[in-house]
Amino acid sequence: MEFITGKHISRRTMLHGMGAAVGLPLLDAMVPARSLWANTSAAKSAERTRLICIEQVHGAAGCNELGAELNLWAPAAVGRDFDLAPSSLKPLEPFRDYLTIVSNSDSIMAEAYRPAEIGGDHFRSSAVFLTQAHPKQTEGSDVRVGPSMDQLYVQRFGQDTPIPSMQLSIEPVDQAGGCAYGYACVYTDTISWASATEPLPMVRDPRAVFEQLFGAGGTPEQRAARRRTDRSILDWIMTEMAALRREVGPADRIRIDQYAENIREIEQRIQRIEARNRSGEARELPSAPAGVPDSFEEHVKLMFDLQVLAFASDLTRVFSFKLGRDASARVYPESGVSSAFHSASHHGGREENVRDFAKINEYHVSMVPYLLERLQNTMDGDTNLLDKSLIVYGSAMADSNLHNHRRCPLFLAGGAGGQLKGGLHVRAEDGTPMANVMLTLLHKLGVTDLESLGNSNGEFSFDVPDTATESQ
């Protein structure tokens, strides 16, 4: 039946069956009849900005002196008339109108503050990226750094979703105890901190992410029984889904069917990956879980698809995503460079090596347009998810050849609910803490009473005249 009498479905409706619990995309039937969309609880939920924070370790080739001269990260011009062609950000050109580049900000809290800390930059940087606080040097459990900006947002606006936030990674981040230079491995293993002393674990296996999103219902016995079958998670909720389809209008039925197809397609991809990795054939990542693809690109895109699906169903609005691990020896042959990631970052300032490292940076950035396109093609109410999302991509490392943290790489993507204009390159004044950028973003996201973050010393201005083209 059509919903024409004021009766409506809750935005928190879940379909259940045999250990499955599947949320729904935003439907017309979730809006009370004769109600103004803007006044409904569903609208207020839909308009809350989605946040994805992506960390790429080892900084960028464009952050050393030569790389900056060659514009291998930040474009030469500030304002709106900038050229991405020379830079590692070139893959983002199709989404230029959603792109805000912030160059020349510093993460000095990742620097050594005492002689004993010298050399430990790789083992501080990840902890600093979203906290902008200085990690306590310890190999024990008495870790301390600071709350991360993603979790400050969660504490304010993430508690009304079934999952307040999720933390994902591509490389293994499960080392315990001390790593090197007197630092606990947890500083390198996560970028999300619920408080100064509460690091949040990151999930590497897409199967585990899928189960967290859609397999949280029922008893442990039911979930275990369902996983032992080769049936789709959708098979267990077909009765409730069929009943729901009978109650909603044609447009909602189309949305439900498309959403179910997306879930099934992702589920099948995970199943194919697991079957391939359990076949006995040699793996490039022999120690990785069966659900983890050997291909970096396949892994990243699958994790992005899971994030978009979670946003569409409003299961969570916040993700942090760690693309690499400091001192990683992974090789990215698709970038055209055969050197391992960490060794490539130590380019010695030689132009050929700097340009090779820039190719790896560009390859990593080239994953992001896939996410932006998926968000743009996913409607949520009266607009698409890219307009409602903020993607933060960067590193607390700058020139990893020197292990410094000045002129760090950072860009933002998405409309952030109208808070970012896009199509803009803003160059920070020398000495500007990246913490100022993070603090201002939190203010734009609605955490307006937060006075400081890490070593922030003020607001960051995104106001640049449209005609500005001054050179770096």
**pLDDT tens digit sequence for 367-397:** 999 999 999 999 998 899 999 999 999 999 9
**pLDDT tens digit sequence for 275-292:** 999 999 999 999 999 999
Tell me the C-alpha distance between 290 and 204, whole Å.
11
pLDDT averaged over every residue in the chain: 91
Q: Count how many residues are written for the chain.
A: 472
Is residue 216's pLDDT more than 60?
no
Tell me the C-alpha distance between 33 and 98, whole Å.
34
Residue 308: other Cβ atoms inside 10 A: 23
Q: What percent of the chain has pLDDT over 90?
A: 79
Contact, 378 vs 355, CB < 8 A? no
Is residue 194's pLDDT more than 80?
yes
Tell me the C-alpha distance between 306 and 303, whole Å.
5
* Class of the CATH-defined domain 48-204+292-444: alpha beta
pLDDT band at 12 (very low <50, low <70, confident <90, very high): confident
Q: What percent of the chain has pLDDT over 70?
A: 90
Residue 160 in tokens? 């009304």
Q: What is the pLDDT of residue 159?
A: 87
Q: What is the pLDDT of residue 3?
A: 39
Q: CA of 227: how far to CAs of 216, 233, 235, 237, in Å?
A: 12, 9, 12, 15
Is residue 268's pLDDT more than 80?
yes
Q: What is the 3-state secondary structure (H, E, C) of the chain?
A: CCCCCCCCCCCCCEEEECCEEEECCCCHHHCCCCCCHHHCHHHHHHHCCEEEEEECCCECHHHCHHHHHCCCCCCCECECCCCCCCCCCHHHHHHHHHEEEEECEECHHHCCCCHHHCCCHHHCHHHHHCCCCCCCCCCCCCCCCCCCHHHHHHHHHCCCCCCCCEEEECCCCCCCCEEECCEECHHHHCCCEEECCEECCCECCHHHHHHHHHCCCCCHHHHHHHHHCCCCHHHHHHHHHHHHHHHCCHHHHHHHHHHHHHHHHHHHHHHHHHHHHCCCCCCCCCCCCCCCCCCHHHHHHHHHHHHHHHHHCCCCCEEEEECCCCCCCCECHHHCCCCEHHHHHCCCCCHHHHHHHHHHHHHHHCCHHHHHHHHHCCEECCEECCCCEEEEEECCCCECCCCCCCCECEEEECCHHHCCCCCEEEECCCCCEHHHHHHHHHHHCCCCCCCCCCCCCCCCCCCCCCCCCCEC
Q: Where are the domains of the chain?
A: 48-204+292-444
Taking the model in full, what pTM does it have?
0.94
Residue 169, sorted as left (phi over 0), alpha (psi -120 to 50) or beta, turns out to be beta
Q: What is the pLDDT of residue 5?
A: 41
**pLDDT tens digit sequence for 397-438:** 999 999 999 999 999 999 999 999 999 999 999 999 999 999
Q: What is the pLDDT of residue 472?
A: 43
Contact, 132 vs 455, CB < 8 A? yes
Q: What is the pLDDT of residue 119?
A: 94
pLDDT band at 215 (very low <50, low <70, confident <90, very high): confident
pLDDT band at 100 (very low <50, low <70, confident <90, very high): very high
For residue 196, count CB atoms less than 10 angstroms from its CB and return exposed for 0-12, middle for 13-18, buried for 19 or more. middle
Q: What is the pLDDT of residue 61?
A: 98
Is residue 229's pLDDT more than 70?
no
**pLDDT tens digit sequence for 19-67:** 678 889 999 888 776 555 556 655 666 679 999 999 999 999 999 999 9
Q: What is the pLDDT of residue 1?
A: 34
Q: What is the pLDDT of residue 415?
A: 98
**pLDDT tens digit sequence for 329-354:** 999 999 999 999 999 999 999 999 99
Tell me the C-alpha distance between 132 and 434, whole Å.
7
Mean pLDDT for 300-304 is: 98
pLDDT band at 235 (very low <50, low <70, confident <90, very high): confident
Tell me the C-alpha distance between 152 and 131, whole Å.
10
